[in-house]
Structures are given as structure tokens and as C-alpha cells.
Structure 1
Amino acid sequence: MNQIAKVTEERQAARYDEPANQGDGLLGIIERLASNKSMDVDKFSAIVKIRADEQERLRRIEREDREDAARREWLAAFSAVQSEIGPIFRTNDNKHTRSKYADLADIERIVTPILTRHGFSTTSAPIACDLPGHIRMRLTLGHAGGHEKVYEDDFPLDAAGSGGTVNKTAIQAKGSTQTYARRYLKASALDLAFMDDRDGNAPPAPKDESNISQEQLAKLRETIDAADADVEKFCRFFRIEALPDLPAKEFDRAISMIGQRRARA
């Protein structure tokens, strides 16, 4: 049976504590030096600075040790999480493309209990975005030990359906885009794999499920618009819910097909 290696190495944090006897602390040193009437002012300032710098150095070492311990605890817990999360099954039917997809609820139902059990929490929120027509979403994956990782990406507003026509209000488009962004970021951060539900049959062999990048998506949209291609038929052909779901391995093929269609037009 495979057993996850747990981080056991610990570093003793160098703690800085002001001595109970104030005469041994920085203030005590200042008082003693100040009471010496023959003390040179410049020398007095230099001694005080050296002592203050030493205290700051000790505090910095303690802080860095705490951060390093939290980071190692995060990595050990994340390794345990990944060992427990299996593939996410696509259980929802897309009537337009006649394909299955996994929505945010499918992901949350599997990963949230596992993340919580190992001390993780996730928060998602839109943040300021300077790219017109896009929403920038931030996902924070934090751990009880104090370390966290932040993931961000920009997503075009989903105002149109698979046919390319606007079919949502501004509020609906924003909500739809945020939901998709949360699903996309969580799948990326946790390195999730997706596969179709085969009604209890043995799952198919693992395959590359990475989708096209935002740059590839922009080029794909431009190519489709230039060729006046039908987005709904395109999605149906590749058995995807929407253009962002196109597998990266199909990108070159898709661009070539659209180019050939444009040449024949």
C-alpha cells in the first residue's frame, strides 16, 4: 500500500523575547549609557543602532522560520489532498452539443470535503480588471497552518449562447462568467482530471484534458468571426459546452478546419 510521505523535519524558530529584567533589554542599555556623562553621543547612537538591528534580525529570522514551516505544512497537506481526489465525472448533459460536462457543483461535491479534512479553505472573488469586456477572478487556497496560494485569470464576459447571439442580461452574463471562472480556476489549482460517466463501466484510459489558453481562445474567436462560422455547430462537432472547453490538443485542428471553410466560401 502506498503511503504518503509526511514532512517530519522541523526547524526550531529563533524566538525573540525581551528579558524580564528590563536592565538587560534595549531600554536598560539606553538608560545605563545615558547616565554615563562621559559617553560620546555618536558612540551612544551607534551602540543603540547595533542593538536595535540585532533585535530586528532575530525577529526576522523567527518570522521566516514560521513562514517556512507553514509552507512545508501546506505542501504536505496538498500532497495528501491530491492522493485522495480522483477523476471528476461529467454528469450533466448539454442538449445543444449533445455532450456531458462537469459543473461547479460536481467539483465542489468531491473536493470540498477532502480539502476541509486536510485543513484547506478556498475563497473566490472578482477583482479589478483593466481588460475591457472581461472579469478577473481570484482564487485563494489557504491552509490552517498559515500559508496560502493565490491564482488569478481573466475571463471574457459570457453574454452569448453557443450560437453566438446575445441571450443574457448584463447581470446574467456576469454571474455565468464568475461561475465558469470559479470552476476553471479550481480545476487548474487542484490539477483536476475529468472523464465521462460510463454508467458503471470501467473508466477509459487517462487522456490529456487541458483546455485552450486565453490567448488561443481569443484567436479562435477571431478566426470563427472572420469565417462567419456557426459557433453552435463548431461546439457540437468537438462535443464541448462552449469555446473555452476546447481541448488544447484540438486547437490546431480547429483553426485548420475553419481556415479551410473560409477558403471554400
Structure 2
Amino acid sequence: MSELTTVNSNQVAVQGDAGQVMASKILELAADPNFDVDKLERLMELQTRETERQATVAFSTAFAAMQSEIPTIAKAKSGNGSNYATLEDVVEITRPILNKHGFSLSFDTNTVLEKADEKSTNDYKGYVEIVAILLHKEGHKEKTTLLVPFDYSGSKKNNPAQAMGSSVSYGKRYTLCALLNIATRDDNDASAAWQHKKITAAQARGLSAKQAKLSDADKDSFDKWLLDDFKIDAIADIPQSAYNYIDGQLTAKLNAAKELETA
């Protein structure tokens, strides 16, 4: 436990992790009309820096754990002569992992439109600025930005709205992958192999430990669910692609049981 120790009537020494103790002490000192205002301001600045440091450490720790769970994502769609992973696929795969580790993702967009010259076949030209923002529950955030010109390829050549929409989707996909350091691969036999790859022994032990905490009725229900929905009768046979979903369901069951106990 961190502490703030009063040295004399106008000095405070910080020991260890300041945290909430520091904030509480500052409020106490602020209520004292005899306390030096300049010293109080310096204490508040110190508390702010400490809070930001703790938030940064929490972000880095959670980010490392989160990244280890994000799989390589298949390039399941073709377009403009190349294969790519769709924004929908990337979001669907990463969202439960982000939530599990206390992250939320948002995007800011800024569109710049310019009237095209007379020789252009398009009514407008311009670009979209996409900003992907990754926020951790402790308050620290990171972001990345990409400028994307309007995409007038194919049937979009005479439709500025479609051209802008395509660029926004493209920008979100690329900034998201860059922000989370996501790798993609061609959707071939390796994709099928990933779908059938089983969870690791460590993951199986973790799920088994959670299952052991369930009531007998919930254990039976869980086993039946695995058999009915996944055609498996053992935790060790759970496919890697279903691990995060099943882990989330087990955690939800345990939390619901705890709420009933405390109600």
C-alpha cells in the first residue's frame, strides 16, 4: 500500500505508489486554508503524473496479453486484383479479445471535399482522414492516423458517396490492423487448418478450472452445450477459433452464480 506521510505542516513525502491515497491526501490539504497554495499545486501535478504513469503501465501490460491472443486473420475477400481481410472479419475476431482485456476501439473521420476540375469525370475529389483510437479502461489511449484518397474505382467512378464510403472502410481496416499489429494471410488450406486447430494445454487447464467451479447442473448444461453446438465432448478438443467465445461464456456463468450468492 502506498502512503503519503506528512513531514511538517507544509511538506508531504510520497512513498511508493501514490494512487488514491495521494488524491485523498490532496483533498484533505486543500481544505486547510493555511496550507501553501503553490505546494498544493505541485502536489496535484505530481498526482496527475503518477495517475498517467499507472495508466500507461496498465495499458502496456494489458496490450501485451491481448496481442498474444489475436490470431493471424485470413484474407477472405478478393478485390482490385488482391486478397484482403474485411473490416467485418477483423472486428468480429478482435472485439471479444479487446473487451476481455479492458480495451475499447473508436474511429474519428474527417472528410475533405474539393470541386473537381472541368476535365475530371468525377463531381468531387478529396480524401478521408481516419483516426483509430484504442482506449484502455484505466484511461491511457493510443491512436494511429491514415489519409485515404477517395476510391473512384469500378462502379464508384461517378458516385462520390460510394467513393467516400469505400475509402472510410479501407482506412478503418488498415488503421485497426496497424494499431493492433494484426497480421493477415491468404485464405487457403492454412485457414482451414486454423479452424480445426485445438486449444493449447494451458488454455484447456484454464477452462477446466472454471468449469470445476460451476454447480453440477451448470456443468451438465455446459457439457451438453459443447456436444450440441460444437460436436465435442471434451474441453481439450475445443477448436482454437472458439476458445475466446467459450471462455467468455464460462466466465459469464461464474459471474452470474456469484451475483445470485450475494443477492
1:184 to 154, 174, 177: 174
Kept in 2, the 8 Å contact 1:159–1:170? The answer is yes
1:120 & 1:195 partners in 2: Cα distance? 25
Kept in 2, the 8 Å contact 1:81–1:118? The answer is yes
1:73 to 58, 70, 91: 58
- TM-score where L is the length of structure 2: 0.56
Mark the structure with the bigger radius of gyration.
Answer: 1
Kept in 2, the 8 Å contact 1:158–1:176? The answer is yes
Q: Which residue of 1 aligns with 2:70?
A: 85
1:18 aligns with 2:24: no
One-letter amino acid of the structure 1 residue matched with residue 188 of structure 2:
R
1:58 aligns with 2:43: yes
1:137 aligns with 2:134: no
Q: Which residue of 2 aligns with 1:211?
A: none
Aligned pair count reads 164
Kept in 2, the 8 Å contact 1:87–1:192? The answer is yes
Higher strand share: 2
1:178 shift after superposition? 0.4
2:92 & 2:133 partners in 1: Cα distance? 18
Secondary structure of 2:78's aligned partner: strand
2:29 & 2:171 partners in 1: Cα distance? 52
1:167 shift after superposition? 2.7
One-letter amino acid of the structure 2 residue matched with residue 12 of structure 1:
A
1:83 shift after superposition? 0.4
2:111 & 2:75 partners in 1: Cα distance? 32
2:56 & 2:158 partners in 1: Cα distance? 43
| Cα distance change on mapping 1:93 and 1:80 into 2, 3 Å | same
1:115 to 98, 113, 127: 98
Secondary structure of 1:124's aligned partner: strand
1:195 aligns with 2:188: no
**Bigger relative contact order, structure 1 or 2 (CA pairs below 8 A, ≥6 apart):** 1
Secondary structure of 1:84's aligned partner: coil
Secondary structure of 1:17's aligned partner: helix
1:103 to 86, 104, 119: 86
Question: Structure 1: 5+ residue runs without aligned partners?
Answer: 1-9, 30-47, 204-265
Kept in 2, the 8 Å contact 1:81–1:115? The answer is yes
One-letter amino acid of the structure 1 residue matched with residue 138 of structure 2:
G
1:186 shift after superposition? 0.4
| Cα distance change on mapping 1:128 and 1:159 into 2, 3 Å | closer
- TM-score where L is the length of structure 1: 0.56
| Cα distance change on mapping 1:53 and 1:130 into 2, 3 Å | farther
Question: % of aligned pairs identical?
Answer: 30
The two structures, once aligned, show a CA RMSD in angstroms of 2.6
Offset from partner CA, 1:31-55 (integer Å, 9 cap, x none): xxxxxxxxxxxxxxxxx8xx11100
1:130 & 1:67 partners in 2: Cα distance? 38
Secondary structure of 1:79's aligned partner: helix
1:133 shift after superposition? 1.7
Q: Which moved more, 1:167-176 or 1:52-61?
A: 167-176
One-letter amino acid of the structure 1 residue matched with residue 69 of structure 2:
E
Kept in 1, the 8 Å contact 2:112–2:128? The answer is yes
| Cα distance change on mapping 1:80 and 1:130 into 2, 3 Å | farther
Offset from partner CA, 1:57-83 (integer Å, 9 cap, x none): 111111111111011000001001110
